[in-house]
Amino acid sequence: MYCITTKNLSYRFNGQDTVLSDIELAVPKGAIYGFLGPNGAGKTTTLRLLLGLLKKQTGSIQFFEQDFEGNRLSILRKTGSLIEAPSIYAHLSASENLALLQKIYRCDKNRIDEVLKLVGLEHTGKKSAGKFSLGMKQRLSIAIALMHEPELLILDEPTNGLDPNGIIEIRELLKKLNQEQGLTILISSHLLAEIEKMVTHVGIINKGKLIFQGTMQSLHEAQQQQSVIYFETNNLPATKNILQAAGLHAVEYEKGLSIQLAEPAKVALANTQLVEQGIAVYQISVIKNDLESIFMDLIK
């Protein structure tokens, strides 16, 4: 089952080029879905369309296998969100901020203490939210989004502007909510290195187009496919001929040669042949193309 699906979702602002073009998201239930792309790629516009903060122009949006247009209120009751900057009352404490939402959502008062504990703000007492660090404000905003016990949480760049410790706190909190509460999370970011440490699925958007969607495992498999074995010797022309004769296509790479990832037995045989031909082998190593490189290749 998918918590969110979109079909041919497109959008353009008045008098401007198309901002989104045929976006087809598929966010599985129980997943942490990382929605990735550079600044200006269309992430926030997509999330605003999902939540009805922008009027849909073209395409369809479904939550929990229901059309958003005809079931907006029931869908939003099951959805928590944080779009762009935290929305809190700076002169109120964390519990006072939540008390306002508790009355609006008409949920049990005990829920205030529950969500404060969930996000690690149970000991803030009467300290006003305006005196919180940015990380604490982000956690309070997430607490507000959790007040009505949603099944789905939508977060737009929740680690933006945080220091490394704040980023780790938010990351661990979201993983905890997903694993212990069974919460499905859609989180946008432009930082692959951070997102890859928490998500199960990923969608990559660039210039308004979804250019990749799948599991993190499939992205890691793409990484493996782009890994190479590097050879550095004292005679590169002869090395290239020997590798080619062994069925290993070699190309120039930095100060040596590279071949696509091959079976260990083939690499060992090629090494033996190089030594037998009197070639000094300085280095044989596997060079893995990291996920950030793949991400950059995709958006280029």
One DSSP character per residue, 219-247 reads HHHHHHHT-EEEEEES-HHHHHHHHHHTT
Choose among 206, 252, 201: nearest CA to 231: 252
Burial letters for 265-294: b for 16+ Cβ neighbours within 10 Å, e otherwise?
Answer: eebeebeeebeeeebeeeebeeeeeebeeb
Residues of the chain predicted below pLDDT 70: 15, 86, 222-226, 288-293, 297-300
Q: What CA–CA distance (Å, rounded) separates 66 from 64?
A: 5
Q: What's the DSSP call for residue 132?
A: S
Q: Which pLDDT value is given to residue 224?
A: 63
One DSSP character per residue, 24-41 reads --EEETT-EEEEE--TTS
Domains of the chain (ranges, CATH numbers): 2-222 (3.40.50.300), 226-290 (3.30.70.270)
Q: What CA–CA distance (Å, rounded) separates 114 from 128?
A: 19
Question: Which amino acid is located at 233 in the chain?
Answer: T
Q: Which pLDDT value is given to residue 289?
A: 61
- Which strands form 209-215's sheet, in the order they lie side by side? 79-82, 152-156, 184-189, 32-36, 201-206, 209-215
CB 158 within 8 Å of CB 142: yes
Residue 59 makes CB contacts below 8 A (sequence gap 6+) with 6, 7, 8, 9, 10, 22, 23
Q: Which pLDDT value is given to residue 162?
A: 80
Q: What CA–CA distance (Å, rounded) separates 230 from 260?
A: 9
Residue 147 makes CB contacts below 8 A (sequence gap 6+) with 80, 98, 101, 102, 105, 107, 111, 112, 115
CB 239 within 8 Å of CB 232: no
Q: Which pLDDT value is given to residue 105?
A: 84
Q: Which pLDDT value is given to residue 292?
A: 67
* 246-265 pLDDT, tens digit each: 888 888 888 888 888 778 88
- Classify 147 as helix, strand or coil: coil
Q: Which pLDDT value is given to residue 38?
A: 86
